[in-house]
């Protein structure tokens, strides 16, 4: 978990951002480069970017990642990059990069392969992309991943409670789920603490890792942006911090305490 905050950056949290197998990332938020630097991961090591949707806190870091790869970590252009997303992703990301650095990133897309299918295979993983309940103008999706060794996980993207997420959870052992709003905010496009509680009770055998949170990081010394108080969660819900690592061993997902 290279970032766990929502768009408003609660204290000591970067934007929601996940990496798995050290080379596949979900989204490219504005703080993506910071998150990779903090974890000691070179942007050149990134092979795949799975795009959940096109809001700024999820994709506005892409120009910086491409710029860094072009001028620092992959000057020779030997490291291909795959971007997975809906049919609108390619055009809109190219437009974003042109706005950010006119002319400088045109050739950066020469080594980028865009995948628009809703299912695929990568490094032993089968993945599928499913529609979720969020702002339709940004093509919102979640992803489910299942590996040949038997492990599986879901990333909800940004979404409120919806049937497709429920279906994905029924087939999975772990899920990274957004909780972007407090109870007093009215929105169908995000989960609040009560939604997470209900989700956890319906899927007691699934470990839920909370991301895209509005709550300041544990131990923050600053005046709260919204709050620094965690809700009471069931035992299968884990309100994780930036840098949290989970591994699959002995047929189950466990938090790596090292």
Mean pLDDT, range 167-194, rounded to an integer: 97
- As a whole number, mean pLDDT of residues 217-237 equals 95
Question: Contact, 17 vs 209, CB < 8 A?
Answer: no
What is d(CA 59, CA 95) in angstroms, rounded to the nearest whole number?
12
pLDDT at 156: 98
pLDDT tens-digit series, residues 60-99: 999 999 999 999 999 999 999 999 999 999 999 999 999 9
Torsion over CA: 100, 136, 121, 256 (sign): positive
Specify the pLDDT at position 200: 98
Contact yes or no for 36/29 (Cβ under 8 A): no
pLDDT at 178: 98
State residue 57's pLDDT score. 98
- Average pLDDT rounded to a whole number, residues 147-176: 97
Model pLDDT, residue 227 = 97
CA distances from 66 to 28, 81, 89, 96 (A): 10, 10, 15, 12
**Residue 170 and residue 69: Cα distance in Å, rounded?**
38
Helices (H) and strands (E) in the chain, counts: 6, 14
pTM, to two decimals = 0.97
- Region 245-252: mean pLDDT is 93
| Length of the chain counted residue by residue | 258
Domain 18-255 CATH superfamily: Ribonuclease Z/Hydroxyacylglutathione hydrolase-like (3.60.15.10)
Q: Judging by DSSP bridges, how do beta strands 125-131 and 119-122 pair with one another?
A: antiparallel
**So what's the pLDDT on residue 109?**
92
Whether 245 contacts 256, CB under 8 Å: yes
Separation between Cα atoms, residue 143 and residue 226, nearest integer Å: 29
H helix or E strand, kind and range, residue 93:
helix 89-100
Considering Cα of 38, then 42, then 47, then 53, what sign does the dihedral take? positive
Query: What is the chain's alpha carbon radius of gyration, rounded to the nearest angstrom?
Result: 18
> How far apart are alpha carbons 50 and 19 in whole angstroms?
10
Confidence at 257, pLDDT banded by 50, 70, 90? confident
For residue 258, pLDDT beyond 90: no
The pLDDT assigned to 33 comes to: 98
Asked if residue 5 lies in contact with residue 27, where contact means CB atoms within 8 angstroms, the answer is no
Tell me the pLDDT tens digit for each residue of 107-150: 999 989 999 999 999 999 999 999 999 999 999 999 999 999 99
The per-residue pLDDT for 74 is: 96
Residue 250 exposure: Cα atoms within 13 Å on the Cβ side: 2
Mean pLDDT of all residues in 230-245:
96
Q: Residue 8 to residues 13, 14, 138, 153, 213: CA-CA distances in angstroms? A: 10, 9, 18, 26, 9
Q: What percent of the chain has pLDDT over 90?
A: 97
For the chain, give the mean pLDDT. Answer: 97
Task: Give mean pLDDT, residues 193-221.
Answer: 97
Tell me: pLDDT of 59 over 90: yes
């Amino acid at each position: 978990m290279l970032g766990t905050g929502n768009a408003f950056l609660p204290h000591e949290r970067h934007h929601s951002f996940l990496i798995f197998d050290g080379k596949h990332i979900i989204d490219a938020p504005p703080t993506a480069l910071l998150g990779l630097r903090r974890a000691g991961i070179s942007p050149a090591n990134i092979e795949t970017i799975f795009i959940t949707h096109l809001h700024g806190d999820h994709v506005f870091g892409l120009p910086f990642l491409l710029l860094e790869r072009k001028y620092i970590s992959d000057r020779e252009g030997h490291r291909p990059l795959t971007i997975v997303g809906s049919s609108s992703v390619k055009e809109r990301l190219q437009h974003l990069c042109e706005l950010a650095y006119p002319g400088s990133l045109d050739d950066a897309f020469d080594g980028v392969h865009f995948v628009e299918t809703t299912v695929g295979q990568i490094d032993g993983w089968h993945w599928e992309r499913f529609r979720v309940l969020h702002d339709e103008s940004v093509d919102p999706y979640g992803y489910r991943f299942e590996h040949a060794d038997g492990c599986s996980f879901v990333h909800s993207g940004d979404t409120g409670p919806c049937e497709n997420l429920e279906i994905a959870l029924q087939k999975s052992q772990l899920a990274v789920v957004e909780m972007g709003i407090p109870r007093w905010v009215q929105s169908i496009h995000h989960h609040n603490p009560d939604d997470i509680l209900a989700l956890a009770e319906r899927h007691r055998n699934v470990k839920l890792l909370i991301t895209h949170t509005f709550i300041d990081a544990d131990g923050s010394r600053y005046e709260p942006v919204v709050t620094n108080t965690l809700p009471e969660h069931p035992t299968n819900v884990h309100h994780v911090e930036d840098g949290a690592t989970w591994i699959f061993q002995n047929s189950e997902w466990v938090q790596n305490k090292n």
